[in-house]
Amino acid sequence: MKQQGYLITLEGIEGVGKSTHMEFIQHVLEAKGITPLMTREPGGTPIAEAIRHVFASHHDEPMTDETEFLLLFAARAQHVQARIKPSLTSGKWVVCDRYIDASYAYQGGGRGIPLERIAQLEAWVCQGCLPDLTLLLDAPVPLALSRIQCRAAADRVESEKVVFFQRVRDAYLARAAQFSARFRVIDASGSPESVQMQLHTVLTEFIENH
């Protein structure tokens, strides 16, 4: 195995089970002798987590799309420089719950932020730290949203309408088609066990080839 770090990202709309399957991904890697850094966006450092709180909370003052967009990239700048880049440089594998593709899906597809504007900030903020493998958990929007109805209180983004999440899902699938070399689309509409079987297959293949 090469002595370098790899960045694996987990993407998908609300309700597809990302949080549940992050732990499974960690177990698969550890079983292969890899101790990964498990992190998330927005967040991953104390400063970035503080930004996440502002981003996700409901406010009396409506948050503009531009503010949301810049908050996410501010958190990402801190995350990349403080955790992701140093970890990869030291040879550590990193698994991140959401990363740059989420901005193209949520702010691009969902909010309508121009893709070229996202690309400009990606080049500036990510500093070449791009995913080696992206696992896209995909499920029909009504099914995914039905899974989060039992949550105690929906955050600001979870409270969006179905049409918003449909645009986000469509954008994710477009990214997967555009960057098929690193994307693996996982059918998340079935049981957790069926999702984990798919994840295990993809992760095993990736590890064996790297």
- Look at residue 2 and tell me if it is in a domain: no
- For residue 1, pLDDT beyond 50: no
The letter for the amino acid at 161 is K
- Look at residue 16 and tell me if it is in a domain: yes
Residue pLDDT, tens place only, 23-72:
999 999 999 999 999 999 999 999 999 999 998 888 889 999 999 999 99
Range of the domain at 137: 7-209
CATH for 133 = 3.40.50.300
Please give the tally of structural domains in the chain: 1
- Look at residue 192 and tell me if it is in a domain: yes
- Look at residue 188 and tell me if it is in a domain: yes
Residue pLDDT, tens place only, 150-202:
666 666 677 778 899 999 999 999 999 999 999 999 999 999 999 999 999 99
- Look at residue 1 and tell me if it is in a domain: no
Full strand arrangement of the beta sheet holding 94-97: 37-40, 94-97, 7-11, 133-138, 183-187
**Does the N-terminal peptide bond of residue 42 adopt cis geometry, omega within 30 degrees of 0?**
yes
Residue pLDDT, tens place only, 81-138:
999 999 999 999 999 999 999 999 999 999 999 999 999 999 999 989 999 999 999 9
Calpha distance 207→210 (Å, rounded): 5
Enumerate the β-bridge partners of residue 96. 9, 39
- Look at residue 147 and tell me if it is in a domain: yes
